[in-house]
Amino acid sequence: MEILQQLWQIICTLINESGLSRLSWENYVMVLVSFVLMYLAIKKQFEPLLLLPIAFGMCLVNLYPDIMGMPETQMLTEAQLIDKGVDPASYTTTILNGQTYYNYTENGGLFYYLYQGVKLGIYPPLIFLGIGCMTDFGPLIANPKSFILGAAAQIGIFLTFIIASALGIFTPQEAGSIAIIGGADGPTAIYVTTALAPQLLGPIAVAAYSYMALVPIIQPPIMKLLTTKKERSVVMGQLRPVSKLERILFPIIVVVIVAILLPDAAPLVGMLMLGNLFRESGVVERISKTAQNELMNIITIFLGVTVGATASGKVFLSLQTLGIIALGLFAFCLATACGVLFGKIMYKATGGKVNPLIGSAGVSAVPMAARISQKVGQEENPGNFLLMHAMGPNVAGVIGSAVAAGVLLSVLKV
Amino acid sequence: MDNMTQAFILLLAGFVVVFVVLILLIIIVTLYGKIITAIQNKGKKKKTKAEETARKIPKEAVTVETYEDKGDDDGGIPDEIIAVIAAAVDAVYGEKPHKIKKVKKSRNTRSAWSRAGIIDNTRPF
């Protein structure tokens, strides 16, 4: 009889400790949301490299919230420590009312430690290092005017900031973090959000990466709406070849200028340009390969799961998330539209030599946005190759959104 | 309202800073591009004309051969590949009128060893 009672007690404890009794309905909803994201990542291949770890991190943290748990310090007496089977000599002591207590620290959850890389702003610049190693700034050096289009697309960020502030449900810091989604640059969005509004990191990261995956659906209608058939069929002249010396000097010059003028953008732009210098110098091929493959993959895993793990049910399932998703889409559309409109201005200014379609590539989303410019251009004129021309504004957009991030950080950081 | 004024100021500041920084980069990149091209052209001019004509690609290297394909129209080559080939041909021909009639996958008759040799010798770095 006693054995049965003990068995029952063990079963009761197990049930109490299991998710069945500890999780709230929000957690279950979030697990379902993560399943949807996993489906989108695997079946529809929406930015799977990031969306898959994000979705899984989201799933895991809602099933087992302690995985993000902070390390806790308890004050225990000597007797309690000995009960736990640990040696009191290895702990610091606090004396309170004549009684000696030992500061017993329990470790945090796995994701808590991995998340420090996000929280302290380490992962996004490291990702930028890898991106720098993979980016060819040649088209931008050959046609520096592309910088204008990269800047134009950032207008979307600041216009969205105004709208988000006007809604009244977001603080200026939160509004800034939401607006940066319009930069279409995941690492930048995460970097800004962790500094300004870390509580919104989950929804903002999910929105940013989802919209980047949806570039082929979101951009073409806006591009077609704002341009005429004649403008779309403009064939642009071939880009001039860029010498190796120019390629090597470019990252050095950019980092000097940006870091002096806008120190807050220095970590992102600095690492991007360091990576690019690795690539273009041609003397550190091993480092360059590691930065763009192994290092970047490792960081992507850590960044993905921990960003996903910030999306716990109570934070994610709120009216704010809906607002973020709507405003993020708005920011993205606006950025595309501003880029195309500036492309039109350049079309007029150059007497029809610039195809306005390359303007939409000013939102970062490398190289997807440039591919869309190519695709839409080719629909009008199958013999038109805009890809390399669109890569100019595209890589300028990466620098542009890092600069815009620097502006937001320097003004809004408390 | 105070919030809105702040937001508006940030909007203006953002525009100005982003554009100023990027326009500054345009000026510098354009300038140093010109300087470097000027320096490199100087060096090039010293070379004799004969050398330059020798460097020109022989005509037969750029003629596009047309193949007769039996039956299957595109030979199972994906559109992207055809686009890339067309772009390459376009880059070589430039302004001259040209037309691609057919793109056909060549049958690989080389042995694995000779293919490895070719890959080894034609790799850019």
Q: What is the pLDDT of residues A359-377, one digit of tens each?
A: 999 998 888 899 999 999 9
Mean model confidence pLDDT for chain A: 90
- Range with lowest mean pLDDT among A74-78, A93-97, B75-79, B118-122: B75-79
- When divided into structural domains, chain A yields a total of 3
CA distance A155 to chain B (A): 7
Q: Is A383 near chain B, with CB under 8 Å?
A: yes
- Mean per-residue pLDDT for A100-127? 91
CA distance A165 to chain B (A): 7
Q: Is A255 near chain B, with CB under 8 Å?
A: no
Same structural domain, A228 and A373: yes
8 Å CB contact between A75 and A103? yes
**Coil, strand or helix: which one is B66?**
coil
Domain that holds residue A41: 2-69
- Range with lowest mean pLDDT among A340-344, B36-40, B93-97: B93-97
Same structural domain, A87 and A28: no
* Residue whose C-alpha is closest to residue A344's, from A329, A356, A332, A327: A356
Same structural domain, A171 and A263: yes
Q: Is the ipTM of this complex over 0.85?
A: no
Same structural domain, A368 and A302: yes
Cα(A357)–Cα(B112) distance, rounded to whole angstroms? 44
The tokens describing B43, both together, are 């060096």
CA distances from A157 to A10, A179, A185 (A): 56, 5, 11
Q: Chain A residue with minimal CA distance to B31?
A: A144
A59, A83, A106 - which closes a domain: A106
Same structural domain, A130 and A261: yes
* Residues in chain A, total: 414
The tokens describing A281, both together, are 């110098």
- Mean per-residue pLDDT for A244-266? 92
Q: Chain B residue with minimal CA distance to A176?
A: B7
Same structural domain, A228 and A368: yes
Q: Where are the domains of chain B?
A: 2-51, 57-122
Same structural domain, A267 and A142: yes
Max CA pair span of chain A: 95
Same structural domain, A30 and A141: no
More confident residue, A26 or B111: A26
CA distance A312 to chain B (A): 30
Same structural domain, A212 and A88: no
Cα(A391)–Cα(A364) distance, rounded to whole angstroms? 10
**Coil, strand or helix: which one is A394?**
helix
Q: Do B32 and A246 touch (CB under 8 A)?
A: yes
Q: Do B18 and A403 touch (CB under 8 A)?
A: yes
Chain B, 32 to 51: residues with Cβ < 8 Å from chain A are 32-33, 36-37, 40
| Dihedral sign of CA atoms A73, A79, A84, A88 in order | positive
Same structural domain, A98 and A87: yes
Q: Do B11 and A161 touch (CB under 8 A)?
A: yes
- Mean per-residue pLDDT for A142-153? 91
Same structural domain, A99 and A135: no
Residue B69: predicted pLDDT: 45
Same structural domain, A339 and A365: yes
8 Å CB contact between A135 and A125? no
Count CA within 13 A, CB hemisphere, residue B75.
13
Predicted TM-score (pTM) above 0.90? no
